[in-house]
Amino acid sequence: MTREALFADPWVRTLIAQALAEDIGPGDVSTQVAVPAARRVRARVAARREGVLAGAPLLAAVYEQLDPGVTVNLLVPDGWRLQAGEFVADLEGPTAALLSGERTALNFLQHLSGIATLTAEYVAAVAGTACQVLDTRKTLPGWRALAKYAVRCGGGVNHRLGLYDRIMFKDNHWAAGGRRIADLVARGRRLYPALAIEVEVDSLAEFELALPLGVEWILLDNFTPEQAAAAVALRDRAGAGTRLEASGNVTLATIGAFARAGIDACSVGRLTHSAPALDLAMDLELLP
């Protein structure tokens, strides 16, 4: 999905509406008590620490739903490497609307920028190699398209968007299906010939069984970098075109070793399930 299509997606608009309803409910009582209805204000969103920006168009999308009288001027694009203290956006409009939407807008921006920032750290750790940094399906329910967009902002590459766009046989499929992996691959080719197939293996012995099947990807689950290097050597000696993905045991401390072993990609669940939010804040200035 393109950036433009993502932010125009009805799913995203609904997510924003639900977030605003969750936070404001029947009304922002603190703002109703404290702020005169006619007062206007200027606001700036700033980074409190270094990081990579993602989700900036959601600032305008939040306030468009809350109060079209708020104007949003983005100062830097998504993917921008922010410095501490750097401004992200200027906003102007009714004080009450800016205050009521502040937390919802920042929640989107901080979470997505945190994903982009962590992804960029992993991408930097494999610089100079051909290894891609992949995300996973370990995302907050309802946030997947946004989270995977944030991964792209950080220089990562999207893995499966869902269960529908790649055949991926894991150990539970082997156990539950009651079929040999070769039979599963053949059945997958027959039923979904347009989809790539990936097979997860837990050992070099399983890898040697899967390699002759000619699948597009083999996932090396919880391999060490040394075991991954052995799998790469086996693949290369066989002249197979299968690409290898490492998953599990992939951290900032280990991903470089996997990349140098010749792995084509490393998938990292923590990019989307455990990325710390980037510290961003909104500061208000009363207009004369």
Active site residues: 103, 138, 170, 200, 221
| Torsional class of 79: left (φ above 0), alpha (ψ -120 to 50), beta (otherwise) | left
CA–CA separation, 125 and 277 (whole Å): 20
User: 179 and 205 in contact (C-beta within 8 Å)?
Assistant: no
Pairing mode, strands 217-221 and 197-201:
parallel
Nearest to 157, CA basis, from 133, 125, 138: 133
Nearest to 112, CA basis, from 89, 72, 83, 145: 145
User: 82 and 53 in contact (C-beta within 8 Å)?
Assistant: yes
